[in-house]
Amino acid sequence: MSSKISKQKQLFSLLNTKFSGLGNGSPVKESSANITPPENFYDGYSSHLLNKVYNFYKSLIQNLNSGLIASDLHGEITFVNEAAAKMLNYNRQELLGKNVKDLFAADEESQKCLRAVFLPNKRLNDKEVNFLLKDGSVIVVGLNSSQLHDENNNFEGIILLFQDLTEIRHLKGQIERMEKLALLGELSAGIAHEIRNPLAGIRAAAQLLQENNQHDPFQVQIIERIIREVDKANKLLKEFFKFAKPGKPNLKFHDIELIIDGVYLLLAPQLRKKNIEFRTDFANDISQVYVDDTQIEQVLINLFLNAIDAMPEGGRLSVKTYSKNINLMNSTMNHIEIENNKLCYVYVEISDTGCGIPEQNLEKIFNPFFTTKGHGLGLGLPICSRLISENSGNLDLESKVGQGTKITLALPAFIHHLK
């Protein structure tokens, strides 16, 4: 081992001791972003090397995505990292000196958690709790805790590590809704199948009648009507099958921008005719999405057509893409298997400046056959929702009457399979 590395190892060990000593009795309150260790730190070691190691640890902690808060034995907060302050909408100074119990939205919950945390060798693992933000609003966090010990292994405080679960919870809710729809779809597919059988019997019998009544044009006409109505019912059922039992997705990596451009080219004449401006805002270096491109194309066509219908006097249709990583503390996606546990989603926001959807209809628009239009079966959005679910994605909708509608698709940029 080189003398340089050996010296660094000694320094790390020394600094570990020094850091734990800082939390003992007299908490260090960080007053600025760039902190220099106290003078007596150096003890003959190279100041440059010490600084380097110190800043390494500092950078490690300050750049965590998770919130990290340390407190002494009385619960007084002695350390806050950037992520913690940001998540709770405070600046770091404001949190120092507060008590950890003030972080919790409910007294009962704080008592229960902190009682456990301050017990010897006790840890909290992935506990969902409600934390209070500066403005008094509440977020759900996943909380882990561990204990701080000094160089003599004496218990001197606690560390809380937490993540904002709001988005994950929202996604979970969406997934549950989609799973319910999928179950409904399975049941409905069975019913649709049962209806098509007697329809086949009616149609065949009507055609036989027609053949045997060629001499009577009136009879032939009536029988034609029967056949037409059977075909209409069949068409409805075929559309319904797309919702109830979409085909198994053929999953591959694709550029989402290419799929969007393809759909735009298909619908460009309609957009021009209706005087609708089309705008895109694609993020650079976005990951490819792991989806069935034909199914996603179908979803986009449906959504673009809905937007066009919502803007009969013209308007603007905007499509924005960006990507986001989601950290899951435990898998909330029980119906899919994820390789490598890395979750990057590509988001596609489709916004229009159309008439918007009344609030009382927002829950109903994903129900099959619900429609406020004069035409169509009311299966467009249920089919979109179902197809997105089959591709392990998520569909979210916001709308305001008179302002427009925004639909956000979250598409996986990672390899996955439906269980």
Partner 1 sequence: MSNPKKLLIVDDEEALTFSLYQIFINIPVECEVLTASSGEEALEKIEKNHFDIVITDIAMPGINGLDLLSMIKAREPQTKVIVITAYGSDERKEQAYNRGAESYIEKPFDLYEIRDLVLKLLS
- The binding site for partner 1 (CB under 8 A) comprises 193-194, 196-205, 207-208, 230-231, 234, 238, 241, 245, 247-248
Cβ nearer to partner 1, comparing 135 with 194: 194
Task: Collect all residues with Cβ–Cβ distance below 8 Å to 387 and sequence separation of at least 6.
Answer: 246, 295, 296, 298, 299
Cβ nearer to partner 1, comparing 242 with 416: 242
Tokens read off for 175: 């997934």
Cβ nearer to partner 1, comparing 116 with 191: 191
DSSP 46: -
DSSP 361: G
Tokens read off for 179: 């799973």
Least CB distance from residue 230 to partner 1, whole Å?
6
Residue 242: name the closest of 114, 390, 40, 101 by CA. 390
Least CB distance from residue 419 to partner 1, whole Å?
17
Classify the C-alpha dihedral 36-41-42-45 as positive or negative. negative
Cβ nearer to partner 1, comparing 205 with 266: 205
- Whole-number Å distance between alpha carbons of 346 and 325: 9
Least CB distance from residue 310 to partner 1, whole Å?
30
Cβ nearer to partner 1, comparing 247 with 312: 247
Cβ nearer to partner 1, comparing 104 with 243: 243
Least CB distance from residue 195 to partner 1, whole Å?
8
Least CB distance from residue 263 to partner 1, whole Å?
22
Range list of β-strands (E), 15-153: 67-72, 77-80, 127-132, 138-149
Least CB distance from residue 417 to partner 1, whole Å?
16
Residue 169: name the closest of 6, 326, 345 by CA. 326
Cβ nearer to partner 1, comparing 208 with 283: 208
Q: At what angle do helices 47-62 and 3-22 cross, to 10 degrees?
A: 60
Phi and psi for 72 in degrees, rounded to 5? -85, -170
Least CB distance from residue 211 to partner 1, whole Å?
8
Cβ nearer to partner 1, comparing 165 with 230: 230
Half-sphere exposure of 33 (CA within 13 A, CB side): 5
Least CB distance from residue 205 to partner 1, whole Å?
5
CA distances (Å), 122 to each of 102, 148, 150, in order? Answer: 21, 12, 17
Angle subtended at Cα 180 by Cα 334 and Cα 351, rounded to the nearest 5 degrees: 95
Cβ nearer to partner 1, comparing 10 with 207: 207
Least CB distance from residue 385 to partner 1, whole Å?
19
Cβ nearer to partner 1, comparing 62 with 234: 234
Cβ nearer to partner 1, comparing 194 with 285: 194
Contact in structure between 350 and 280 (CB atoms under 8 Å): no
Least CB distance from residue 339 to partner 1, whole Å?
24
- Whole-number Å distance between alpha carbons of 317 and 355: 13
Q: Which long-range contacts (CB under 8 A, 24 or more apart) does 78-81 make?
A: 78/23, 78/27, 78/28, 78/157, 79/23, 79/27, 79/30
Burial of 376 (0-12, 13-18, 19+ CB in 10 A): middle
Least CB distance from residue 191 to partner 1, whole Å?
11
